[in-house]
Structures are given as C-alpha cells and as structure tokens.
Amino acid sequence: MAESDIRTVEAARAHSEEAWRELFDAHYPKLLRYFRSRVGSAETAEDLASETFVEAYRSIGRFQWRERPFEAWMFGIARNRLLTHYRKQKPATAELHDVEHVRDEYLEVEIRDVLERLPPDYRAAIEYRYVLGLSGEEAAAAMGRSHGAFRALLLRATRAFKAEYGEASDEAA
C-alpha cells in the first residue's frame, strides 16, 4: 500500500472533506462500473455507488489495515449494497428502450447472462479485472488471493467465459 493511500484513509477517518473527495475521485468510477455491470439502470447504479460511500463514511472507524488495500474494503461494502438491493427488488418488468440502444443493451444482457452462468469466483475475477479495470494485484487482493493464484483463476475464468459465450452464440444462431 502506498504511503499516500494510508495518509488519505487516515485523514478520512478524521472526517477530512478533502480526503473523502480524494477517495471518491479514486474509487467512485470503479464502483459505478461494478454496479453498472450488475444492474440494468444507470440511475440505480449511481444510487448504489453513492450509498456505498455513505456506508463507508459511517463505518470508516471500523476499517482496519490488513493485507488488503482500502479498495477491497470498499468493494466489500459494494457487494453488500448489491445484495441488499436484490433482496428489496421486486421481479423486474420489461422496459422499452430507444431503438438506437437496443443492440448495446442486448450485448450487455448477453454478456451478463454468460457471466451469471459462470462459477462465482470466475465471475468475480473477470469483473474485477476487465469490468472494473483493477490491476491484477488489486483484483487479487480484493479476492483475498495471491497474485499468482489470481492469474491462474483469471485464465480459467476467461477460458470458461469464451466456451460459454461460444455455446450461447451457437444457440442464438
């Protein structure tokens, strides 16, 4: 962990607005991508990302430096927020979308469907690395794995995704 990250988090613990602004700027885009890959609405994704920061602000006093970066702690909060969201959610109803967005949304849904058919650790590895854009080291830390173990997992996950996507494409043809 970089010394500047530690200073920023410690300043956030002391309720420094500037530190929270830095944390927000550093982590909000990745959290938003995480939620956008999991929910159908951009507004819902924004709400969940914001709620994640509210919860982080409330519970920063319980944060402990371990062998994981601060970002891993934030994604733990994000996963909990997502679970809460799904528990509260009523069955989704189909929505009509603008014609120009249909193709992009179809691909998004198709990819999400393929990811959902993968084992949870494969899905998480792919999301952390490719959807959220975390480095291999950051993704490994977020999953509680060594970098080497994460690379092996990501390789298996990528192969499984390609195989599953190929089967999905064959079924659609």
User: Is the predicted pLDDT of residue 170 greater than 80, yes or no?
Assistant: no
Give me the torsion for CA of 139, 142, 146, 149, rounded to 10°: -60
pLDDT of residue 56: 92
3-state secondary structure of 30: helix
- Measured CA to CA, the distance from residue 19 to residue 35 in angstroms comes to 23
Which whole number is the average pLDDT over 153-159?
94
Handedness of CA 38, 42, 46, 48 (dihedral sign): negative
Which whole number is the average pLDDT over 99-109?
53
Enter the pTM of the model: 0.56
Q: What phi and psi, each to the nearest 5 degrees, are found at residue 90? A: -85, 165
Residue 157's pLDDT band, with cuts at 50, 70 and 90, is: very high
pLDDT of residue 71: 86
What domains lie within the chain, and their CATH numbers? 1-95 (1.10.1740.10), 97-173 (1.10.10.10)
